[in-house]
Structure 1
Amino acid sequence: MMTLRIAQLANFVGPVSGGMRVAIEELGKGYVAAGHERILVIPGERDTTAETDNGIVVQVRAPRISRDYRMIARPWRALEVLDRFRPTSIEVSDKWTLSPAARWASRRGIGSVLFSHERLDDMLSGWVRAQFGVETAVGALNRRLVKEFDAVVVTSAYAAEEFADLDANLWRVPLGVDLATFNPGIGQPSEDGLVKLCYVGRMSHEKNPELAVAAAVELHRRGVPIQLNMYGVGPDLEKMRVQAGDAPVVFHGFVKGRDEVARRFAASDISLSVCPSETFGLAVLEALACGTPVVTSNRGGAHELVDATSGEYGSPDAVGIADAIERLMARLGPQLRQAARARAEQYTWQASVDKMLRLHEDLAHQVPNRPVRRSGFRPRTNGSKDQ
């Protein structure tokens, strides 16, 4: 078997990052477990290099663009790291400042993968509250990206729509879930007469957490006995506190550790993942794996994960989501929780890793005469060995 040297590059990866960070970590861990070499290049407060059990992790000093995130503003500094690692292929989880890595790889006869974690047309139209001009700009960017990268990875049919008619080498790779950490045995909802709803995610408008709050306010208006527990931090937190008013909405802040996140899911009757522009929705699988059924919007990648046995969906507005919650409340019980777990079991990280490795192997063989050697990578900064 050919030993691959896979370089993963990403922006917007930090201590409170959500699904993208988990996906990169799980895939990287799988690459190393399969006997390959892996390096991860991400932004950081300062230049650091760490040799870990799951490969080399390099942080490139990068400016802060928000309270929680940094972005590598000088991509050539990340490319210098790649020059020393000498990968057989690269995997880029960024469409912005790290996209020049595709041209770097092409000049060296190295395969390049763009891992598309967001759908820019819907995300940007949500930010500017209008569609005018967004489709044209995003279309031009995507046409450039599919020409420069050898392959584009998407996680859902919804995510694939953005690249329709662009002649992309498109690979659909659904993500997985840690079925051991997230399991029904770690807890169950309390029987106090209230239906416990939860939202786990970033409190920022691109994730539409305000839609979960709006649905809870609507249910409270109807006199439905619920409590919505919001887990996460973000710039819209205070705005949503005002939005909630006197409705039974509790903001718990950031939950540290995947084990604790799993316990919060398991203690809920229903989880809400209602963003209509989510390309996948790891929080959906994590909730389902804990036996907690899910309500989603009726469009987006998260909707594709929930079938008729494991949840409900509604139009992305307060009334539509509230109606879906009430329909699901009528079905609550042990059978529904068992069906939720069974749905999650269809998505494993091993399946995701296997498909990604097939792609990296294909790219590595595109230049059959290239010699395969160990990288000889040596850090230029004072690194640390993780224990």
Structure 2
Amino acid sequence: MRIVRLANFVTPSSGGLRVALDELGAGYAASGHEPVLVVPGERAREEETPAGRLITVPGPLVPGLGGYRVIAARRPLRRLLEELRPDRLEVSDRSTLRWTGAWARAAGVPSVMVSHESLSGLLRLYHAPARLADALNRATAAHFDTVVCTTGWAEAEFRRLGAANVVRVPLGVDLTAFGPGRYDAGLRSRLTRGDEALLVHCGRLYPEKRPDRSVLALAELHRAGVPAVLVVAGDGPLRRSMERRAEGLPVVFLGHVPDRDRLAALLATADVAIAPGPVETFGLAALEALASGTPVVVSRDSALPEVVGDAGVAVADDPAAYADAVRRLLAPSDPPRRAAARAQAERYGWGSAVEGFLAAHGLTRTPARPR
């Protein structure tokens, strides 16, 4: 089956969404299906990748979002969809691409919308009325045959509206690329001195991610006399303000880390990871830390408590609370703490995620003959 997938806000450094698109596409291809991913870019191009065919169509930059683009022109996209003749349509954006659900229904193509973000949570951060999120979520559920949510937390904003076409399918983590065996003593010696703890913040530096909480937590730790270093792996429009906030503190800004081996070594070498985003619907970076054997401090307002379980600590949106949780995780303990983190991550393999997404499409690993 040809599964055409549409996504906005995708760049080579766009974090979890890009990872999910790549892993699911590769899984679809390995299952005998034909994945085709359509994303916006500066200019049109087409290429073959391990995750299937990748088609880039021209799309405008969204002001203030640090380089993200969207597919805004409907007519060219409609023509492309007609040319591709999908057997299934999978959409990963609820803004400018919602209309494609109606196109799919008219064309007789089963459709799936993947909810990668919480509209209720995002609009709450920007003090928008809750009824706006409800209206948009009702429209999403009405336009698509199935809505896939990755956690119960993400599912709740649809369930409370009475949407009956919502299914829950967790994402996964690469349990081979990320593991405790990636620990790098040399890296640790370059980043820390003596008894300093190594903390890591991994994620895009965008307002909804609340990355400043990690720097503020480090400041709280230092005020309490706890020696620690923070490494920030990620980039975005808040980087400059975070660098100013971090003046006088041992904070290392790496920017986006495209090398997976380098990232895996950092996560496995860290003592604690911090994931403060209050509207995370899944949190792939936190799960990669767990797979590396590193416990995580997360926002209790997000879906991450559901994902990290007992392998982390969930706290209120307060720097002092994050610092206190870090101290708890740094306290002397038996080695099973790191083993528990790894065991929690092992509940989330990409194989299960691929099967769940295919099931949402009404497909299996033995595809029917394409049209």
- Band of TM-score, shorter chain: over 0.9
Q: Tell me the residue number matched to 1:170.
A: 166
Report the 3-state secondary structure (helix = DSSP H, G, I; strand = E; otherwise coil) of the residue aligned with 2:236: coil
Q: Tell me the residue number matched to 1:342.
A: 343
Q: Tell me the residue number matched to 1:194.
A: 196
Q: Deviations over 1:58-99 (max 9, x none)?
A: 101111224421111113322222211111111100011111
Q: Does 1:94 align with 2:93?
A: yes
- Equivalent residues of 2:5, 2:92 under 8 A apart: yes
Q: How does 1:129-168 map to 2 (within 5 A)?
A: 130=127, 133-163=128-158, 164-168=160-164
Taking every aligned residue pair, what percent have the same amino acid on both sides?
A: 43
Q: Does 1:361 align with 2:351?
A: no
Q: Deviations over 1:261-295 (max 9, x none)?
A: 11111111111112121000001110111111111
Q: 1:54 Cα shift?
A: 3.0
What amino acid is the match of 1:215? A
Q: Tell me the residue number matched to 2:247.
A: 245
Q: How far apart are the structure 1 equivalents of 2:302 and 2:75? A: 35
- Equivalent residues of 2:2, 2:370 under 8 A apart: no
Q: Does 1:183 align with 2:192?
A: no
Report the 3-state secondary structure (helix = DSSP H, G, I; strand = E; otherwise coil) of the residue aligned with 1:361: coil
Distance 1:372 1:35, change over 3 A: closer
Q: 1:51 Cα shift?
A: 2.8
Q: How far apart are the structure 1 equivalents of 2:107 and 2:332? A: 57
Higher mean C-alpha deviation, range 200-209 or range 242-251: 242-251
What amino acid is the match of 1:20? L
Q: Does 1:9 align with 2:10?
A: no
Q: Tell me the residue number matched to 1:233.
A: 235
Q: 1:362 Cα shift?
A: 6.0
Distance 1:318 1:52, change over 3 A: closer
Deviating 4+ runs (over 3 angstroms): 188-191, 371-374
Q: 1:331 Cα shift?
A: 4.6
Higher mean C-alpha deviation, range 175-184 or range 163-172: 163-172
Q: How far apart are the structure 1 equivalents of 2:241 and 2:69? A: 24
Report the 3-state secondary structure (helix = DSSP H, G, I; strand = E; otherwise coil) of the residue aligned with 1:137: helix
- Equivalent residues of 1:41, 1:78 under 8 A apart: no
Q: Tell me the residue number matched to 1:51.
A: 48
Report the 3-state secondary structure (helix = DSSP H, G, I; strand = E; otherwise coil) of the residue aligned with 2:361: helix
Q: Tell me the residue number matched to 1:262.
A: 264
Q: 1:298 Cα shift?
A: 1.6
- Equivalent residues of 1:188, 1:268 under 8 A apart: no
Q: 1:138 Cα shift?
A: 1.0
Q: Tell me the residue number matched to 1:26.
A: 23
Q: List alignment gaps of at least 5 residues for structure 1.
A: 364-370, 375-387
Q: 1:55 Cα shift?
A: 1.8
Q: Deviations over 1:192-244 (max 9, x none)?
A: 30110000111111111011111111111111111111111110111112222
- Equivalent residues of 2:89, 2:104 under 8 A apart: yes
Q: Tell me the residue number matched to 1:304.
A: 306
Distance 1:331 1:92, change over 3 A: farther
Q: Tell me the residue number matched to 1:283.
A: 285
Q: How far apart are the structure 2 equivalents of 1:134 and 1:280? A: 24
Q: How far apart are the structure 2 equivalents of 1:332 and 1:229? A: 23
Q: Tell me the residue number matched to 1:382.
A: none
RMSD of equivalent CA atoms: 1.7
What amino acid is the match of 1:11? N
Q: 1:121 Cα shift?
A: 1.6
Q: Tell me the residue number matched to 1:295.
A: 297
Q: How far apart are the structure 2 equivalents of 1:100 and 1:332? A: 53
Q: Tell me the residue number matched to 1:379.
A: none
Higher mean C-alpha deviation, range 183-192 or range 58-67: 183-192
Q: How far apart are the structure 2 equivalents of 1:12 and 1:249? A: 28
Report the 3-state secondary structure (helix = DSSP H, G, I; strand = E; otherwise coil) of the residue aligned with 1:46: coil
Higher mean C-alpha deviation, range 183-192 or range 14-23: 183-192
Matched positions, count: 359
- Equivalent residues of 1:270, 1:294 under 8 A apart: yes
- Equivalent residues of 1:121, 1:134 under 8 A apart: no
Q: Tell me the residue number matched to 2:33.
A: 36
- Equivalent residues of 1:203, 1:234 under 8 A apart: yes
Q: How far apart are the structure 2 equivalents of 1:100 and 1:331? A: 54
Q: How far apart are the structure 2 equivalents of 1:331 and 1:346? A: 26
Q: Compute the TM-score of the two structures, normalised by the length of structure 1.
A: 0.89
- Equivalent residues of 1:49, 1:56 under 8 A apart: yes
Q: Tell me the residue number matched to 1:322.
A: 323
Report the 3-state secondary structure (helix = DSSP H, G, I; strand = E; otherwise coil) of the residue aligned with 1:181: coil
What amino acid is the match of 2:276? V
Q: How far apart are the structure 1 equivalents of 2:261 and 2:83? A: 37
Q: How does 1:94-133 map to 2 (within 5 A)?
A: 94-126=93-125, 128=126, 130=127, 133=128
